[in-house]
Structure 1
Amino acid sequence: MDDIVKQALARWPNVPHCTGWLLLDARGHWRLRDEADQAQGAPGTPIRHEALIGFINRNYERDANGQWFFQNGPQRVYVELEYTPWVVRLASANGGALTLTDQTGQPFEPAAVYVDEHGSVLFERALPDTAGASADVADVADVAAPAPASVALLHDHDLDGFTEHATLAEDGASGTFHWRAGSALPLQSIARADVPARFAFVPSPEQAEKAAR
């Protein structure tokens, strides 16, 4: 979290949060949603300003209830998730080694691979998710410790690249992903509806807030 944000939190600790205004889509784009977008259930307008994108990426966190948010100075802006809290791109590094990078530009090391009923590929990171919740913000009220597992959706443009490194069974939802030399990850089936509970995140803080009223 940026120092200027932590300073703003200390100076104005009780600024009301907001929901519904920011969405992370299935391709890792941040989208602003005005009142018309929210009323229509539309995803909103993609943010193109690089400095703003960087600011959101650096101040993207998870609270104790599994809701993801962008800390915009003293105000917490909860994020609507089109699917998962992380979206990754698959690429080949020098020498052909595969890499995964999340929407904030950080490496994502997979521990497991899942395929849902729509053919979407998800990667689980079993180690603590330091990209989403860091030790230096432990004093910020309501911010959770790193989750025991986190999940990322593979960008759909990289599905062909994924299949080049996977051995698939006839059902298309089982097989093996050849991640690194000597490291093969079995493909596991998962229902999209089960993903939020399995990985302890809230896809729509806006709906959760309405339900709690």
Structure 2
Amino acid sequence: MDDIVKQALAKWPNVPHCYGWLGLDARGNWYMRDDRTQAEGPFVQAKGSMLRHDKLIDFIHRNYEHDDEGQWFFQNGPQRVYVELEAAPLVWRVAEEGGGKFTVTAHTGQAVDVSGCLLDEAGRLYLVAPIGLGLVHTQDVGIAAEAIEQGLWTPETVQASELPQRFGHVMSPAQGHAGAAAALSKQ
């Protein structure tokens, strides 16, 4: 986390969290979702505007984390901006280094060691690493297939709907927040 973010948290510890305004798609792209976009429906159905500002994206990457409930967020100064996920909290880029060696890097730029490989009912390939579950970027599936063919990874067949519970991540913090707010208003 950036030092400036830590300082802002210390200065303003009680800033309300933000839900529904930021989404991460299956290719590692960030989307800003204004009120109009959110009114059109949940993330993926209504993505919003893709972020293209490199410095903003780098800032998000450096401050992208998850809470104890498995909700992924971007710490924007004192405010937590919870992220709507299309497929998984991370998107992996896979590269072949030659000599049967492959590297895996999260969309945030963090290099990881793979501890598991999963294949869902739609043929989507996921990798497990110490920082979490991620979907292999569509452009890198062929490279990942090389690693599988070489016996480096052995895919386990899974159902995509079971992955959030198994790996402890929340696909839509906004949906959970809206449900909790509705329950409180009925009390």
Name the Cα RMSD after superposition. 1.4
Contact 1:88–1:108 (Cα < 8 Å) also in 2: no
Displacement of 1:155: 0.6
User: Is residue 80–residue 205 contact of structure 1 (8 Å, CA) maintained in 2?
Assistant: yes
Q: Which runs of structure 2 are paired with 1:164-179 in the superposition (5 Å)?
A: 164-167=146-149, 178=151
Per-residue CA shift, 1:37-71, capped at 9, x if unaligned?
A: 11113112111111101100111111111111101
Q: Which runs of 5 or more residues in structure 1 are unaligned?
A: 130-149, 168-176, 179-183
Indicate which of 136, 155, 170 corresponds to 2:137.
Answer: 155
Q: Do 2:100 and 2:147's aligned partners in 1 also have CA atoms closer than 8 Å? A: no
Deviation at 1:204, TM superposition (A): 0.3
1:32 corresponding residue in structure 2: 32
The answer to whether residue 28 in structure 2 is matched with residue 60 in structure 1 is: no
Render the CA deviation track for 1:4-54: whole Å, top value 9, x for unaligned: 011001111111111000001100111111112111131121111111011
Give, in whole Å, the separation in 1 of the partners of 2:164 and 2:51: 25
For 1:14 and 1:166, the matched residues in 2 are separated by 47
Shift in Å, 1:83: 1.1
Q: Deviations over 1:75-97 (max 9, x none)?
A: 11000011111100111125452
Show CA shifts across 1:156-179 (max 9, x none). 111222223334xxxxxxxxx63x
Verify the 8 A CA contact 1:23 1:79 in the aligned structure 2.
yes
Q: TM-score, normalised by structure 2?
A: 0.90
Give the TM-score, by structure 1 length: 0.79
**Which letter does structure 1 place at the counterpart of 2:27?**
R
Unaligned runs of 5+ residues in structure 2 are 182-187
Change (3 A) 1:94 1:188: closer
In 2 relative to 1, CA 187–94 (structure 1 residues): closer, same or farther, beyond 3 Å? closer
CA distance in 2, matches of 1:103, 1:159: 15
Q: Which one of the candidate residues 32, 47, 53 is aligned to 1:49? A: 53
**What amino acid does structure 1 have at the position aligned with 2:30?**
W
Match of residue 117 from structure 2: 113
**Does the alignment pair 1:190 with 2:158?**
yes
Percent of pairs with identical residues:
49
Per-residue deviation, 1:108: 2.0
The letter for the 2-side match of 1:72 is: N
Deviates more, 1:200-209 or 1:94-103: 94-103
Deviations 1:112-170 (A, max 9, x none): 10000000000111x3x3xxxxxxxxxxxxxxxxxxxx211001111222223334xxx
Contact 2:18/2:81, CA 8 A, preserved across alignment: yes
Q: Tell me which moved more, 10-19 or 155-164.
A: 155-164
